[in-house]
Each structure stands twice: as C-alpha cells, then as structure tokens.
Amino acid sequence: MSTPRRAIYAASLLLAIMTGVCLAETPHLGKPLDEAAVAAWDISILPDGTGLPKGSGTPAQGAPIYAEKCAMCHGENGKGGFAAALVSDAKIDGISASQKTIKNFIGDSTTIFDFIRRAMPFQAPRSLSDNEVYALTAYILAENKLIGANDVMNAETLPKVRMPNRDNFIIRFPDRI
C-alpha cells in the first residue's frame, strides 16, 4: 500500500471508531420536543400557500393595526419612513435593493404573510396573531391595489393573488420544482 493510501485507510478507520464511540456515548444534553413545541417553530409557508394557518383578515381590519404597530417605521399608509415603503408604484429597472418594493419585486403573495408573521414588527417578532397577519397582509395588498378594498384574505384566497413580477424570476433549478 502506498503511503497516501495508507494514510487514507488509517483516517477512515479512525473515523469509523470515533463514530462508534460517539453513537455509544452521547452527552445526554437537551430533551425531546413535543409536537406543540415543534409547531411553534414550524412556520414556513411555501409559495403555493402550503402551511398557511387558519384565520382571515380584511384591509379594513388591518388598517388600525398598521397605524398602531407599523406606521412608526414604515410611514403613514405604508409610504415609507425609517423603514422601506410597503406601498409604492415605483418601477424597477436595476438590481439595487433600494428599488425593490413589495409590488414590483415580491413574486408570491404568500411571502408577505410569511415575512410579517416571522419578522414583524421589527422589535417584537412573533407577537402578532394569525388573524392580525392576514389583516395586515390584506391591508398592504389593497393599498398596493393588488386586491379589492373588501377582499378577505385567508388560506384559500391569499395564494390566488397574483403579484405583478411573478413571471420575471429566472428559476435556477427548474427541474427541482
């Protein structure tokens, strides 16, 4: 056996022994999570709406929540302030992040729900109920004129909202969809 091959053989043997040792003697840290604990973290929503929770909301229900919990950063009626505008008709003609808005960039309406639920308000993420998130999503979509003022957003209706930029993304691995 040549020296490099011998070294590889020795390393593999050592790894096999170490793996055996590790499996046999775990440090017994932590504890198994029950289903409810996992559910609290399992909040990803797929583009087609898979994972959307029960509940619903309308633009009219979202407006006062927006004024109370969001306007301080995103400006009155979503026009922008300390944080980016959430309501805008601006066009996009480059890759600068500052040009990207919900209306001209986000490809799936469900992303808006997912993002608000997991990350907003910035100083208190995960503090909103699912109904509040539906209402805020409805409010932002209506202010952007992507849904009607009286449309109800829920697990069935939200995925059907077509975002204007939806067909302009280049799918890197189309065969994996």
Cα 158 from Cα 139, distance rounded (Å): 12
HSE, side-chain direction, 13 A CA sphere, residue 41: 5
* Beta carbons within 8 Å of 78's beta carbon, 6+ residues apart: 66, 70, 85, 86, 87, 88, 140, 143
Does 158 sit near ligand HEC (CB under 6 A)? no
Does 115 sit near ligand HEC (CB under 6 A)? yes
Which two tokens mark 70?
């969001």
Does 92 sit near ligand HEC (CB under 6 A)? no
Given the complex with ligand HEC, which of 74 and 153 has the nearer CB atom?
74
Shortest Å, Cβ 121 to ligand HEC: 4
Does 136 sit near ligand HEC (CB under 6 A)? yes
**153 C-beta neighbours (distance < 10 Å), count:** 32
**What character string, x for contact with ligand HEC (CB under 6 A) and - otherwise, covers 71-90?**
-xxx--------xx-x----
Which two tokens mark 130?
């699912």
Q: Exactly one of 112, 135, 142, 163 binds ligand HEC (CB under 6 A); which one?
A: 112
Binding site for ligand HEC (CB under 6 A): 69-70, 72-74, 83-84, 86, 101-102, 112, 115-116, 120-123, 136
